[in-house]
Structure 1
Amino acid sequence: MATDTAADTGTTTTNEPLHVDGQSQLDDVVAEHDVVLTDFYADWCGPCQMLEPIVETLAAETDATVAKVDVDANQQLAAAYGVRGVPTLVLFADGERVEEVVGLKAEGELRALIESYTE
């Protein structure tokens, strides 16, 4: 009955990353979810590809919602958040931008960062 695009609406977390296209969609995700880890990535970026299974695991196993933003398709959105290199992870808690992490990080480090806002 539910479609993939509407199944997550109104929930506190999702089990897989949400692909975000544009500022208004990111604003909606941040408004709807308590903690949002936003992965600014590019398909051609090696470290981004290495980070992909990590963010998928974090989406499945933590109380954070993971949003993915393709910087090539969303250059204005990336610029609005000061993203100069990929991967860049921006963490939102209660609608506020609280952390920014640039580069490939270990799952444990990112999990600890998320848990500092979800517990």
Structure 2
Amino acid sequence: MTADTASETSTEAPTEPIHIDGQSHLEEVIDDYDVVLTDFYADWCGPCKMIEPTVKTLAAETDAAVAKVDVDANQQLAAAFGVQGVPTLILFAGGEQAESIVGLQGEDQLRSLIQQYTE
């Protein structure tokens, strides 16, 4: 086995948020990446707009994949994860839901949350 073997089992996280289109797409992303921070948002939501630059920065600067789910376009998906308010951030690690945070969060808090699962 070579050093490259490890990279074949876990895909490197993208540097841009992934816009999710339905439950099967989200499941695919969760399966493809070790750690996925999922931002459930709505276009009309002020705090969602405020957290957007933070989410983009985390996608670019951390080892986590960042997924974005529009709750208006994916109401059943949001309901399946118990999303009642936006923004709701759900962190998946190893294919399982590990953390759930509701409301506007600071970049430092989210970065340290991701680091708990990526180190």
Once the two structures are TM-superposed, the CA of residue 37 in structure 1 deviates from its matched residue by 0.2
Task: Flag structure 2 segments of 5+ consecutive residues without an equivalent.
Answer: 1-9
Which residue does 1:70 correspond to in 2?
Answer: 70
Matches within 5 A, 1:32-71: 32-71=32-71
Paired residues in the alignment total 110
Identity %: 69
SS in 2 for 1:54: helix
Give the structure-2-normalised TM-score. 0.91
Q: Decide whether the 8 Å contact of 1:12 with 1:32 is kept in 2.
A: no
Query: 1:80-108 CA distances to partner (integer Å, 9 max, x unpaired)?
Result: 00000000000000100000010000000
Cα distance in 2 between the residues matched to 1:70 and 1:11: 24
SS in 2 for 1:63: coil
Once the two structures are TM-superposed, the CA of residue 32 in structure 1 deviates from its matched residue by 0.2
Q: Decide whether the 8 Å contact of 1:14 with 1:59 is kept in 2.
A: yes
Which residue does 2:16 correspond to in 1?
Answer: 16
Cα distance in 2 between the residues matched to 1:108 and 1:16: 19
Cα distance in 2 between the residues matched to 1:59 and 1:77: 22
Cα distance in 2 between the residues matched to 1:28 and 1:93: 13
Cα distance in 2 between the residues matched to 1:58 and 1:24: 24
Runs of 4+ deviating beyond 3 Å: none
Give the structure-1-normalised TM-score. 0.91
Considering only CA atoms, is the larger Rg found in Structure 1 or Structure 2? 2
RMSD: 0.8
Once the two structures are TM-superposed, the CA of residue 12 in structure 1 deviates from its matched residue by 2.4
SS in 2 for 1:89: strand
Task: Flag structure 1 segments of 5+ consecutive residues without an equivalent.
Answer: 1-9
Q: Name the structure where helix makes up a greater proportion of residues.
A: 2
Cα distance in 2 between the residues matched to 1:49 and 1:33: 25
